[in-house]
Amino acid sequence: MSDHIAKAFDVDLHDLNRMVAEMGGLAEKEISDSVQALVRRDSDLARKVIATDPTIDALQLEIEEKSTLTIARRQPMAVDLREIVGALRVANDLERIGDLAKNIAKRVLATASEEFPSQKLIRGLEHMTSLVLSRLKQVLDAYAARDLASALVVWKSDDEIDAMCTSLFRELFTYMLEDPRNITFCIHLMFCAKNIERMGDHATNIAETVHYMIEGHPITGPRPKGDTTTFEMAPARG
Amino acid sequence: MDALVDTERNLTAAAASQVKVVARNVNVHYGDKHALKDVSIDIPANAVTAFIGPSGCGKSTFLRCINRMNDTIPIARVTGAIEIDGQDIYDRRLDVVQLRARVGMVFQKPNPFPKSVYENVAYGPRIHGMAGNKADLDEVVIGSLKRAGLFEEVKDRLNDPGTGLSGGQQQRLCIARAIAVGPEVILMDEPCSALDPIATAKIEELMDELRENFTIVIVTHSMQQAARVSQRTAFFHLGVLVEEGPTEKIFTTPQDRRTQDYITGRFG
């Protein structure tokens, strides 16, 4: 939606969208790099992820400033106001995603000298990551295209990621029980898995924001939840 | 606590549902020009209702129907029905002068009489025979100036000419003059368009206070003003009432595309 009488307003909104898209691209890259660093035990890549994070943070600040200025200058109404509030919220979620990826990268550095318990666990984590990445990509596309149906698909599908996280937790418990020497690494992996699962939550937040931007009210009704790790800390079998 | 909140909500709902002015299928023609087309609206009591829309959309025309100001234009023809508290204001037996005492009006440009501050406010009550003696009149004048938030600023110069006040003070003097005759409805036609932001803020604050006792209808070109002061907003376009509803809804999630385009500044 464009063609304001004041062309400069269109430019402001366009700039905001562009910055959010740029942030989204950076966040996606941070996620895949951080997990790659974990899989390949690549400390250099991990350090690169950590070094990228300030760029994302700076973009978020820029979006906040631009939004505040646009609100003060244009006093936007209705759909325009929601555009700006939407950009602010999405930027917030992307910044958090960046932080979570940075945290994974830090854990890669912390576990550089640890024994690697199982490729299978790492593969589970990798699989979860690719799922989160595809969700994030889909929801960022939905944001860019203002595609409500696509955003709702993401919103409804978070339970799959949650379920994977729960099953990974169970597996990690088994390894820890088998050999206490695995504990340090497994705890780190557990946090990594939880971080990835949180990224998925941020993707659903973005889906909610897209809904709000288009419809003007929050999504009502419960979201499917598959994450039971908060309550189910003991292994199911063991 | 919840029960208390509920009670409050019910009271608010009850107050909001009390309709003061009812208009049904109002049409206005100026000669051949069909200026207002089939407007029907309920205006709630003790609330501020804002009319917005581009120039020439009919909002001022409709406002002027509510106290029959269009009667003064020879080529204007009004059809349809407007009732205040169930009484048809276009009834032939109705005294228009009395009606205009019940439905006061404040205009775009402050238009005090070329008389003293005191006389400006005293004029209405005097010609309507509302004050028996000087003491009564003083009470009405001072009370009205106080309610218009002007008394403190003019108490030492009640006998100075009203035209000597600042623009914002003159406009509040006009509001004091309007409320001196004890109206039920106050119509305001862009009351702040000639005022600076501080004077505007004072008038807006005043509207918020006055709505406790009056039904206020305001025509404004400032959407931000409509959003700030009103509880309900009606959007007019090309003589048609396009959309009407709670102000927060009109400015956040308007239902009609024309409303959305107008409030977001997309009108070609």
B41 or A114, greater pLDDT: B41
Structure confidence at residue A182 (pLDDT): 86
Chain-chain contact of A79 with B227 (C-beta, under 8 angstroms): no
Residues of chain A scoring pLDDT < 70: 1-2, 116-117, 223-238
Q: What is the pLDDT of chain A when averaged over all its residues?
A: 89
Work out the minimum CA distance from B254 to partner chain A, whole angstroms. Answer: 7
Distance from CA of A75 to the nearest CA of B (A): 8
Of B224, B227, B264, the CB nearest to A80: B264
Q: What is the mean pLDDT of residues B131-135?
A: 87
Tokens representing A29? 């890259």
User: Cβ–Cβ of A78/B264 closer than 8 Å?
Assistant: yes
C-beta separation of B206 from B149 below 8 A: yes
Residue A70: φ, ψ to 5°:
-65, -40
- Residues of A in Cβ contact (< 8 Å) with B245: none
Higher pLDDT, B79 or B13: B79
Rounded to the nearest angstrom, the minimum Cα separation between B51 and chain A is: 16
Please choose, from the candidates B245, B264, B265, the residue with its C-alpha nearest in 3D space to the C-alpha of residue B255: B245
Four-point Cα dihedral B114, B119, B120, B125, nearest 10:
-140
Tell me the nearest-neighbour CA distance from B264 into chain A, angstroms.
5
Rounded distance between C-alpha atoms, residue B124 and residue A176, angstroms: 90
Q: Give me the pLDDT at residue B11, please.
A: 46
Q: Is B227 exposed, middle or buried (0-12, 13-18, 19+ CB in 10 A)?
A: buried
Is there a contact between B254 and A75 if contact means CB atoms under 8 Å apart?
no
CA–CA dist B1, B28 (Å, integer): 50
Is pLDDT of B25 > 90? yes
Give yes or no for a contact between A16 and A84, defined as CB atoms under 8 angstroms apart: yes
Q: Which residues of B touch A (CB under 8 A)?
A: 223-224, 227, 251-254, 260, 263-268
Q: Please report residues of A whose CB lies closer than 8 A to that of B260.
A: 78-79
| Coil, strand or helix at B198 | helix
- Predicted local confidence at residue A121, as pLDDT: 80
Query: Per-residue confidence at B268, pLDDT binned at 50, 70, 90?
Result: low
Those residues with Cβ within 8 angstroms of residue B84's Cβ, 6 or more apart along the chain or in another chain: B20, B21, B66, B102, B103, B184, B185
> What is the C-alpha separation between A78 and B260, in angstroms, rounded?
7
A81·B252 Cβ contact <8 A: yes
pLDDT tens digit sequence for A13-39: 999 999 999 999 999 999 999 999 999
Size of interface A-B (CB pairs under 8 A): 37
Cβ–Cβ under 8 Å, residues A238 and A173: yes
pLDDT of A233 reads 44
Convert the pLDDT of each residue in B45-78 to its tens digit.
999 999 999 999 999 999 999 999 988 899 999 9
B252 chain-A contacts, CB cut-off 8 A: 77-78, 81-82, 216
Give the Å distances, CA to CA, from B77 to B35, B65, B107: 10, 10, 22
Structure tokens at B174: 């006009």
Among the partner-chain residues A3, A80, A216, the one whose CB lies closest to the CB of B253 is A216
pLDDT in tens, B196-229: 899 899 899 999 999 999 999 999 999 999 999 9
Chain B interface disruption, residue of A7, A75, A77, most B CBs within 10 A: A77
Instruction: Verify whether the Cβ–Cβ distance A5 to B268 is below 8 Å.
Output: yes
- Per the rule left: phi > 0, alpha: psi between -120 and 50, beta: everything else, B80 is left
**Gap between the Cα atoms of B268 and B261, Å rounded:** 9
Q: Does the interface ipTM go beyond 0.95?
A: no
Residue predicted with more confidence, B7 or A175: A175
CA dihedral A51, A55, A57, A60 (to 10 degrees): -160
B118-141: average pLDDT: 91
| pTM score over 0.90 | no
- Which residue in A162, A9, A184 sits closest to A84, CA to CA? A9
- Sheet harboring B232-237: ordered strands across? B103-106, B185-189, B215-219, B48-52, B232-237, B240-246
Q: Classify the C-alpha dihedral B196-B201-B206-B212 as positive or negative.
A: positive
Looking at residues B143-150, what average pLDDT do you find? 92
Contact A79 B267 (CB under 8 A): no
Alpha carbon distance A192, A89 (integer Å): 24
A89 Cα to chain B: minimum distance (Å)? 17
